[in-house]
Amino acid sequence: MQKHLDNPVLTSDDIVFIDGIHARLHDLAAHWDRVEAACRDVPQTLVHGDFTARNLRLWSANDNTGVVAFDWEAAGWGAPAADLAQLAVPSGRLSANPDIAVYSSVVRERWPDASAESLWRLAYCGTVFRVVAALYWDAQNLSHDWAHDFAGGMHVYAAELDDALQRLGWERP
């Protein structure tokens, strides 16, 4: 983000905002061990990595209904945080906002020690992961003529990051 601050289409407000989000990300990086700690004792599982509304479809056959996930290019093995991401303002672009209570009831058999609090903490870590990824994707556009539009859109990501970190007990410096 910082290397594009000289783009003439960015307003002074855009630059102040980008500097602020850069500082917030720098603080996050400096204390990343806190995020790692929230994910440390979580059973590893298959993670979709891009669990958003645009990658989900409902299907129905023989009186059964289910969900099918598409676009597995970001899939991997690890803590399911990114797939549990919760957003203050639901957005199909960032997360599907899965129901944590339902998730808890399904994983209880294999993960009996999972408390509601630990699952919510994991979900908000997932929000942090998704926002950092979204900021990375959108930062690529700050070098173009349409940079101002993307800088404006990043305000949603900053708000989601602040909300998730606050819910994790991480006050804004």
The backbone torsions φ and ψ at residue 61, rounded to the nearest 5 degrees and listed phi first, read: -155, 135
Q: Does residue 66 belong to any structural domain of this protein? A: no
How do residues 104-117 score in pLDDT, each as one tens digit?
999 998 899 889 99
Q: Does 18 map to a domain? A: yes
CA angle 75, 79, 80 (to 5 degrees): 65
pTM above 0.85, yes or no: yes
The CA-based angle 50-10-21, given to 5 degrees, is: 50
Contact 96, 52 (CB under 8 A): yes
Q: Please report, for the chain, how many H helices and E strands are present, in that order.
A: 6, 4
Look at residue 141 and tell me if it is in a domain: yes
Residue 13 placed within a domain:
yes
Domain count, the chain: 1
Q: What are phi and psi of 95, to 5 degrees?
A: -165, 155
**Tens of pLDDT along 87-144?**
988 766 788 889 999 999 999 988 998 899 999 999 999 999 999 999 999 999 999 9
- Give the range of the structural domain holding residue 157, as residue numbers without chain letter: 2-42+80-167
